[in-house]
Every structure is written in structure tokens, then in C-alpha cells.
Amino acid sequence: MKTTYDCIPCFIRQALEAVRLATSDEKIHEQVLRGVLAAASKMNMDQSPPVMGQYIHKLIRELSGHDDPYKKIKDRFNNFALKLYPDLKQRIQSSSNPMDTAVRVAIAGNIIDFGVNSQLDRSVISDTIEQALSAQVFGNIKVLCDSIDSAENILYLGDNCGEIVFDRLLIEQLPVHKVIFVVRGGPIINDATMADARETGMTELVTVMDNGSNVPGTVLEKCSKEFRECFAHADLIIAKGQGNYETLSSCEKNIFFLLKAKCPVISGHVGCEPGSFIVKRSS
């Protein structure tokens, strides 16, 4: 997916929110904003938005000296999601269609995205779960289930902290011996890393690898050789979240994107309204 003009204000908002988390020094705030504005004026609009996201957060780390501004937020939402886990697991197990319910729960977890909304309230997460369990899903969960049944190698591309616990609930419904779960290669926004996979029990459930990159998405040329080989070998890829959709939507692989549409740009690409719950197969 290419960057659109509507993405530019989001870059500025995200940069200001992130640098304010990293430091209270207003001189650094100004430096970051000026740097992002300068970069945005020269950027290649044919690139996906997460490429610019990587630049923004690299600049913030360099100027603030803070390697992971979202660390406290990530820990807080991992812990919050783990508290929800037992009840959600029970609801999935007792439902008439556990796989359908688990997919909906996993999509609901995509609301925990601080690149889009840094003021997320926990009540919003609970409300989103309830909505996801009863709302229309744009796409076909049955087609996803059929692909899971026939797949020999499943690559599951994770997204955010907190959300990773919701992913665990879905993965527990899959043939776990066929699944590799993928996290980012380094801190970026509130995206999940290997440390978060350990903290949330994902490493005890399936094989986990990082993609060797700290882009808030999956830009293959920026990923490690090991990850690219796994990506090429996988006959089914489940990709969570907006960043993975933005970077892989034109990739010619058997990819299912699970996400909650959060902006008109994404909604326009997938053909539905902002706020919709989406299961979209790569075309």
C-alpha cells in the first residue's frame, strides 16, 4: 500500500505523541517535529506508511536517548490482556463455534494500537470485544478455516503488545505444531517483541521468531534472511493489524489479514467503513 496525503497528519501526530512519552524536553519535541516535517516533504510516496514510521521512531530514539518510549504502556497492556485471558478462553471454549469466536477475539485485540490512538482506555477494549463477538465481519472466516485445515506451514505475523494475548487465544485453536509466530526485531511504537512473547506465554505455545526489523509492519527487504526464507516457505500467512496490511497487501502469497479498520485510507482499500472487523484474503 502506498502512502497517501491523509497519512501525513498522522505522521506528525504520532511523532509528537511518541516524543512526549520519551522526554519532557520541548527543544527535542521541536527537533523531532522539524525533522519529520522535512522528511515528509521529501519522502517517496510509493513506499508504505510504516517505512516513514520507522524513520520517525529512529529519530526519536536518537534525539531523546530513550530506546523504548512505549515500554511502560506495553507492559501495562500485556498485563491487562493476561487478566482477561481466562474469561476469554472460557468464552471461546463454550461457544458454538470456537474457531469463529477466537478469530473475532483476535481481531478485537487489534484495537490496542498506540500508533493510531495513544489515549486508549481499557473500557474501549472491553467494548470492542463485545462488539466483535456479535458484529458483521467483512470477509469469510470459513475460507480462513479451510486454509488452516489444509496448510502445512502457518506463519502468524503478530502486531502489538496486549494484542499478542488475543493472538494466543486464536493460535490455541490452530494446529500449534505447524505455527511459527513472528514478532518485531526491535522496539517500535507498542509492537510486540520477543520479550513480550515470553511475558505472555507465546514462547511456551509455539515456535517464535523475530523478523529482524523494527519497521511497524513487514517490509520484506528490511527483514532478516531467516525470516524471508520462512515467509517464502509458508503456505498460509495470517497477518495481524494495520501495519502488516499496509506493507503486505500487494504481496502475492496466501495471506489472510485480520484487523480492525481504524482509518478511512485502510477502509478504502478493503472496501468497508472505519471501525469494521475484517478478514481479508490477499488478492
Would you state the pLDDT for residue 58? 86
Give the per-residue pLDDT at 14: 84
Encode the chain in three state secondary structure: CCCCCCHHHHHHHHHHHHHHHHCCCHHHHHHHHHHHHHHHHHCCCCCCHHHHHHHHHHHHHHHHCCCCCCHHHHHHHHHHHHHHHHHHHHHHHHCCCHHHHHHHHHHHHHHCCCCCCCCCCHHHHHHHHHHHHHCCEEECHHHHHHHHHHCCCEEEECCECCHHHHHHHHHCCCCHHHEEEEECCCCCCCECCHHHHHHCCHHHHCEEEECCCCCCCCCHHHCCHHHHHHHHHCCEEEEEHHHHHHHHCCCCCCEEEEEECCCHHHHHHHCCCCCCEEEEECC
Residue-wise pLDDT for 102-116, tens only, equals 999 999 999 988 766
Low-confidence ranges of the chain (pLDDT < 70): 1, 115-119, 262-268, 271-275, 283
Domain ranges for the chain, please list them: 7-64, 71-281
CATH superfamily of 71-281: Uncharacterised protein PF01937, DUF89, domain 3 (3.40.50.10880)
Global pTM value: 0.90
